[in-house]
Amino acid sequence: MRSAICVLSLGIILLLGATGFAFAADTPAVGTAAPDFSLESQEGNVSLKDYRGKWVVVYFYPKDQTTGCTIEAHNFQRDQPLYLQRNAVVLGVSVDTVESHKAFCAKEGLNFKLLADTEHKVVKEYGSTMNYKGVEIAARNTFIVDPEGKIVRVYTNVDPNKHSTEVLAALDELQKHK
């Protein structure tokens, strides 16, 4: 049995290495205070503390104008009225520049905030870094932060096709217990 686990673990390590991906560990735990941040968006400076009293969906994504990231952003955009009904805001974070975010929002019709973490500080604080072919980018992770500023749900390596629907369902469940 131990041998089978070792072989499986080695296989996963080799698979990740073969794809060119390496992931960071240590995402903040559910029940802990969400690390505060202040970053520039396509519309100006945004701080997590500005949203106290609201539910906040902080989603990290690899790169503007790539297939998976565009799908995920479109789904969050499509569902903006549903987030508003749940007293929730969506904040996207990548290591792209503000200029890249502006172009992405203009091209894709996005009106929620995308935050530029060009110094990679916030992606590291949230354990959401990934190396792709030697370049550090944001891993596709999401954190739901409650109105008091605590992390109440963590998603890692999300599926961009269904993630917004998944987050909305989690908000419904979490809000029933508040």
pLDDT: which is higher, 131 or 53: 53
Does residue 92 lie within any of the structural domains? Answer: yes
Does residue 55 lie within any of the structural domains? Answer: yes
Question: Is the pLDDT at 136 greater than 80, yes or no?
Answer: yes
Give the domain CATH number at 106.
3.40.30.10
Q: Name which of 23-27, 123-127, 131-135, 143-147 the model is least confident about.
A: 23-27
- DSSP H or E stretch at residue 129: strand 129-132
Does residue 15 lie within any of the structural domains? Answer: no
- As for how many domains the chain has, the answer is 1
Does residue 11 lie within any of the structural domains? Answer: no
> What is the extent of the structural domain holding 74?
22-176
CB 73 within 8 A of CB 42: no
Tokens of 87: 């007293």
Helix (H, G, I), strand (E, B) or coil at 64: coil
Total-model pTM = 0.85
Q: Which residues pair with 45 in a beta bridge?
A: 40
Does residue 13 lie within any of the structural domains? Answer: no
Does residue 12 lie within any of the structural domains? Answer: no
Q: Which of 34, 69, 144, 158 is catalytic?
A: 69
Residue-wise pLDDT for 9-57, tens only, equals 333 333 333 333 333 458 899 999 999 999 999 999 999 999 999 999 9
- pLDDT of 27: 87
- pLDDT of 4: 40
Q: Is 105 a catalytic residue?
A: no
Q: What are the percentages of helix, strand and coil residues in the chain, rounded to 5? A: 40, 25, 35
Does residue 104 lie within any of the structural domains? Answer: yes
Does residue 146 lie within any of the structural domains? Answer: yes
